[in-house]
Amino acid sequence: MGKTQNIYDNETFFEGYKKIRQDKQSANILEEMPAIYSLAPDLHGKDVIDLGCGYAEHCAHFKKMGAKEVVGVDISEKMLEVAKRENPGIKFVRADISDLSFVHKKYDVVFSSLTLHYIKDFNSLAKQVFAILKKGGEFIFSQEHPFSTAPIDGPKWIKNEKGETVAYNLSDYALSGKRKVNWLVEDVIMYHRTFSEVINALIDAGFKVERVLEPLPSKAAIKKEPKLKRRYHKPNFLIIKAVKK
C-alpha cells in the first residue's frame, strides 16, 4: 500500500471516528449526505464504484436505489471489516485509491465521499477516474471544503465577547499541498487544494463540471442547534458532479 497514510486503522482514530459517525446530528447526516445524494442519477441497472467507502453506508444506499453492481474500495482493514460484516451483498476491495490500476471494468458512477482530501495527486486521480468511467458516466464526490483544509495550523474561528462565532479566519489558502492536522489523533495527513485547482484538474482530465455544491444545514437544524449558524461563514464541504461527455 506504499507510503499512503492509513489513519483509519489507528485504533484511537478508528474509535473516535466511530463516535462521530454514531451521532445522529453529525455534519455527514445533516449537511453532506442529503446534498451528495441529490446529485446521484437514477441508479437502476447501473454499476457503481465507491472510492474510500468506509463502513459502506453509501454502497448500501446505492444498492437500495437499484444499482446493479456496487463495489466499495478502502485502504483501511478496520473500516472494511465493518463494511463486510454489515453488507454481505456488496463486493469490497482493499486498495489505495491513488492508483486505480486494479480496476478492470468501466462504471456508470464513480462515487467518493469525504476521502479525496487524503489523496496527494488529485490531477492523477481525476485522469484515472475518467478512464474507468463509461461515456456519459458521472464522477460524484465530496471533500473537506478548501477553506477548511487551507490553514496550516488548523481552522480558526473568531468569536465576539459573548462567545458567539462571528467569522472564520482564513489563512494559507494559496499554499496548496500537504497538511498535518490534529483530528482525533496527531499528524493526520491531508492535502489542501484551492477551489480552482480542484476544478481545473477535472477539466484537464476531460470532464464537464455539471454541478458544484457547498451545502448548509437546514433552517430547522440551525433552529435546533444555533451553533450550526457558523457554517454561513465557512461551509464544511465541497461537493462536485463531473460528467464524462
Which residues are near ligand SAM by CB under 6 A?
A: 4, 8, 52-55, 57-58, 74-76, 79, 96-98, 113-115, 118-119
Q: Other CB atoms closer than 10 Å to residue 153's CB: what's the count?
A: 10
| Cα gap 243→136, rounded to integer Å | 6
Residue number with CB closer to ligand SAM (117 or 244): 117
Residue number with CB closer to ligand SAM (54 or 217): 54
Q: Residue of minimal CB distance from ligand SAM?
A: 54
* 122, 193 Cβ separation under 8 angstroms: yes
| Residue 233 CB-density burial (10 A; 0-12 exposed, 13-18 middle, 19+ buried) | middle
Minimum gap (Å) between residue 116 Cβ and ligand SAM? 9
| Cα gap 167→175, rounded to integer Å | 21
Residue number with CB closer to ligand SAM (173 or 183): 183
Residue number with CB closer to ligand SAM (4 or 194): 4
Minimum gap (Å) between residue 159 Cβ and ligand SAM? 27
Residue number with CB closer to ligand SAM (10 or 200): 10
Minimum gap (Å) between residue 4 Cβ and ligand SAM? 5
**Hey, what's the torsion of the CAs at 192, 196, 97, 186, to 10 degrees?**
10
Minimum gap (Å) between residue 69 Cβ and ligand SAM? 18
Question: Between helices 195-205 and 122-131, what is the axis angle to 10°?
Answer: 30
Rg (CA), the chain: 18
Minimum gap (Å) between residue 209 Cβ and ligand SAM? 21
* 137, 109 Cβ separation under 8 angstroms: yes
Query: Which three three-digit cell numbers place residue 44?
Result: 437502476
Residue at 126: amino acid letter: A
Cell 448548509 locates to 216
| Cα gap 97→231, rounded to integer Å | 30
Minimum gap (Å) between residue 186 Cβ and ligand SAM? 17
Residue number with CB closer to ligand SAM (8 or 130): 8
